[in-house]
């Protein structure tokens, strides 16, 4: 027995057990197996366990998330079309199409996160705190966006109807993303009455186009209407549905006869009222300003308006007029009633300039006929309103260019004004002496007009001729001093001219230099030839002539200094023509060079002289014609005498 017990103990120590327990016996024997056998067994067991796990590929997870996003919530975007987007690369085995994929590809966010954020937004609408400090884009980012070369901050739409059609497209695009509130802000001035009526006529067509895409589209568009002039009036205390309520309001706008357009204070007032409504209703907001002037309150309220609209995510569009090239004053054709004497008149209105600082000299054509170039269009809207659009992601839509010559928008896009904040533009100008000199000279010419020269001088005798020359030299001396002062300012910055990189500034500076030099050469030459005639009067070659007239001449018969200025002027002007073709700067340079810069005398007979040389029959006809002209002039004066110009 002792032997048997000892053997059992030995067997337990060696790991052997009774065959009656096979599982325990297998495990005990497995523990003594080689290491590679144990490793193999463990891996087999692990693979069997992993085989029971259900695997969803990433593409299926995204499909589930995108499907979840299409839950029918009240604040979901209004889909106006059923066009499927082509499959794009998403590193997925599952083909995904449609607007959801397009939005996901554009935003690049986690789809499930977007769904959670939208649900949270639906459950917890938050009122926009317009008085709180809200983080805005850094200044550098904003500048890069607004002043990007070739960007389209202005569009020529081919009239008011074209502008409304363009806005219809914007409303369609907005409704595809989300329910939308559009706020129409109308200029109530007299000059806008016809444009307001045209827009009212197009309203019905706008809503009809929206409904053509989706029968319920117009139901997702809320509309508000307000006016501005000396005061702001909100015609819809609460936004309305449909077109029937809007058209009577627009047609019934009362004209503001104050002549004031406080557009930016109106933007601030209307924006504060309706942005909270849009935010609480989960709507996008678009503001559309209809006007034909630049606004009288930009310095006070422009920055406030920009900040307000950007905080609320409101895009601003303007339907307006193009600014006159380099000028503050544009013109509107006004028709008088029969009681007022009838007829039409070109009335000055504030429509420009297109740039924040004047960057062109307002110079007359001295010895050159340039009256037809007095009202050129800049192809851009006024600075403040255009910047309001650019800063908020909108567009200034040109409904009317005025009576002046127009230029190809594709060319003018390269000469876009600088729409950065005023302080930023000012800092940039001060860094370049040529730019600073141009603005300084241009500012001075706005205040000080240069008189045109007298070119014809009666000369029935030498004393009459000398007296006429003396009187003509007096204003010319003042004009020459002004031109010389401007030229001195421009020449002080000439060394920095080659550092200018913007085409607009290059063209503007070169044209200013060329025209100033040309006028200076002409004024000096004019004074020289007058002085010579005064000292030694010429005699007429033809009997009956009694008048001397100055005309441009190729030969510059003057001192070397004058010839040098004329040659330098030609160099600058030709550079403008060669480097900036099909632009207003090039056309002005061509016109300046269309006449030579020298002077020569020509003789002729004035009206009295022609009458003295005429036959009795010719004298009678001349006198009758003169009398008829006088009668017509008196009748026209009597018809309009005491008639006040409208305040537009």
pLDDT in tens, 203-222: 777 777 766 555 455 568 89
Q: Is the full-model pTM beyond 0.85?
A: no
Q: Do 507 and 490 lie in a common domain?
A: yes
Q: pLDDT tens digits, residue range 80-139? A: 333 333 322 323 332 323 222 232 233 334 433 343 343 333 333 333 333 333 233 333
Taking residues 628-637, what's their average pLDDT?
70
Least-confidence region, from 373-377, 518-522, 570-574, 587-591: 373-377
Burial profile 362-401: b = 16 or more Cβ within 10 angstroms, e = fewer? ebbbbbbebeebebbbbbbbbbbbbbbbbbbbbbbbbbbb
Residue 164 maps to which CATH number?
3.40.50.410
Sign of CA dihedral 14, 19, 25, 30: positive
Residues 264 and 300 in one domain: yes
Residue 329 lies in a domain: no
252: DSSP letter: T
Residue ending a domain, among 389, 410, 428, is 428
150 with 34, same domain? no
Q: How far apart are CA 373 and CA 56, in angstroms?
A: 72
Confidence at 575, pLDDT banded by 50, 70, 90: very high
Residue percentage of the chain with pLDDT more than 70:
67
Residues 556/521, Cβ–Cβ less than 8 Å: yes
Q: Are residues 405 and 518 in the same domain?
A: no
Statement to judge: residues 420 and 531 lie in one domain: no
Q: Mapping DSSP to helix (H, G, I), strand (E, B) and coil, where does residue 65 land? A: helix
Q: Which of 158-167, 260-269, 381-390, 392-401 has the weakest average pLDDT? A: 158-167
Q: Which of 34, 50, 66 is the last residue of a domain?
A: 50
Whether residues 489 and 598 fall in one domain: yes
Domain region containing 32: 2-50
In a domain, 606, yes or no: yes
pLDDT, tens digit, 9 for 90 and up, residues 142-200:
333 333 333 457 777 667 778 888 888 888 888 888 899 999 999 988 878 788 888 87
* pLDDT tens figures, 217-257: 556 889 999 999 999 999 999 998 877 788 888 888 888 88
Asked if the structure places residue 117 within a domain, the reply is: no
Q: Are residues 551 and 574 in the same domain?
A: yes
Weakest-pLDDT range from 399-413, 514-528, 575-589: 399-413
**Do residues 398 and 474 share a domain?**
no
User: Within this chain, do residues 558 and 509 fall inside the same structural domain, yes or no?
Assistant: yes
Q: Does 407 share its domain with 490?
A: no
> Do 299 and 400 sit in the same domain of this protein?
yes
Residues 258 and 170 in one domain: yes
**pLDDT at residue 457 tops 60:** yes
Query: Strand, helix or coil at 525?
Result: helix
Q: Residue 71: inside a domain, yes or no?
A: no
Report how many domains make up the chain: 3
Q: Is residue 523 part of a domain?
A: yes
Q: Is the pLDDT of residue 549 over 70?
A: yes
Does residue 328 lie in a domain region? Answer: no
Residue 368 lies in a domain: no
Whether the Cβ atoms of residue 459 and residue 537 lie closer than 8 Å to each other: yes
Mean of the per-residue pLDDT values of the chain? 75
Predicted confidence at residue 108, as pLDDT, reads 36
Query: Does any domain span residue 451?
Result: yes
596: nearest Cα among 531, 512, 528, 522? 522
Quickly tell me which residue has 């045209």 as its tokens: 198
């Amino acid at each position: 027995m002792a032997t048997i017990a000892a053997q059992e103990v030995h067997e337990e120590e060696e790991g052997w057990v009774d065959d009656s327990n096979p599982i325990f016996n297998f495990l005990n024997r497995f523990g003594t197996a080689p290491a590679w056998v144990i490793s193999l067994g463990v891996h087999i067991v692990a693979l069997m366990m992993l085989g029971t796990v259900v695997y969803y590929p990433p593409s299926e997870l995204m499909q589930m998330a995108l499907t979840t996003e299409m839950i029918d919530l009240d604040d979901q975007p209004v889909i106006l079309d059923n066009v499927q987007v082509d499959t794009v690369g998403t590193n997925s085995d599952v083909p995904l199409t449609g607007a959801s994929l397009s939005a996901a590809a554009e935003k690049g966010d986690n789809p499930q996160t977007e769904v959670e954020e939208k649900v949270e937004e639906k459950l917890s609408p938050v009122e926009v705190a317009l008085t709180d400090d809200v983080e805005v884009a850094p200044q550098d980012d904003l500048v890069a966006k607004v002043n990007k070369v070739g960007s389209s901050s202005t569009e020529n739409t081919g009239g008011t109807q074209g502008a409304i059609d363009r806005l219809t497209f914007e409303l369609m695009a907005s409704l595809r993303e989300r329910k939308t509130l559009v706020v129409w802000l109308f200029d109530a001035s007299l000059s806008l009455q016809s444009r307001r009526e045209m827009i009212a006529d197009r309203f019905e067509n706008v809503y009809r186009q929206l409904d053509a895409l989706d029968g319920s589209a117009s139901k997702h568009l809320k509309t508000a209407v307000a006016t501005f002039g000396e005061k702001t009036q909100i015609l819809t205390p609460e936004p309305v549905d449909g077109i029937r309520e809007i058209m009577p309001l627009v047609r019934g706008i009362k004209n503001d006869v104050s002549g004031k357009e406080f557009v930016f204070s109106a933007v601030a007032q209307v924006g504060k009222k309706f942005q909270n409504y849009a935010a609480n209703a989960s709507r996008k907001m678009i503001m559309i300003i209809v006007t034909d002037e630049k606004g009288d309150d930009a310095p006070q309220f422009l920055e406030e308006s920009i900040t307000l609209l950007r905080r609320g995510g409101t895009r601003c569009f303007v339907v307006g007029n193009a600014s006159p090239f380099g000028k503050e004053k544009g013109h509107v054709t006004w028709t008088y009633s029969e009681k007022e004497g009838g007829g039409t008149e070109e009335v000055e209105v504030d429509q420009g300039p297109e740039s924040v600082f004047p960057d062109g000299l307002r110079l007359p054509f001295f010895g050159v006929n340039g009256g037809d170039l007095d009202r050129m269009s800049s192809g851009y809207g006024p600075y403040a309103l255009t910047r309001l659009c650019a800063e908020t992601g909108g567009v200034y839509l040109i409904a009317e260019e005025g009576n002046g010559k127009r230029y190809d928008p594709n060319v003018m896009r390269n000469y876009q004004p600088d729409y950065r904040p005023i302080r930023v533009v000012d800092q940039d100008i001060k860094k370049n002496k040529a730019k600073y000199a141009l603005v300084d000279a241009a500012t001075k010419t706005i205040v000080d007009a240069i008189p045109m020269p007298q070119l014809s001088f009666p000369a029935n005798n030498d004393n009459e001729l000398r007296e006429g020359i003396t009187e003509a030299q007096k204003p010319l001396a003042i004009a020459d001093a002004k031109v010389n002062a401007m030229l001195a300012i421009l020449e002080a910055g000439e060394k920095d001219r080659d550092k200018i990189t913007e085409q607009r500034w290059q063209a503007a500076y070169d044209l200013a230099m060329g025209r100033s030099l040309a006028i200076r050469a002409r004024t000096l030459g004019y004074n020289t030839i007058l002085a010579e005639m005064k000292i030694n009067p010429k005699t007429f070659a033809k009997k009956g002539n009694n008048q001397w007239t100055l005309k441009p001449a190729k030969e510059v018969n003057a001192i070397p200094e004058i010839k040098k200025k004329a040659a330098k002027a030609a160099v600058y002007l030709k550079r403008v023509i060669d480097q900036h073709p099909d632009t207003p700067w090039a056309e002005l340079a061509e016109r300046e060079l269309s006449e030579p810069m020298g002077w020569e005398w020509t003789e002729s007979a004035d009206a009295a002289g022609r009458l003295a040389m005429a036959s009795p029959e010719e004298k009678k006809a001349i006198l009758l014609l003169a009398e008829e002209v006088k009668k017509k002039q008196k009748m026209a004066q009597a018809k309009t005498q005491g008639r006040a110009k409208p305040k537009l």
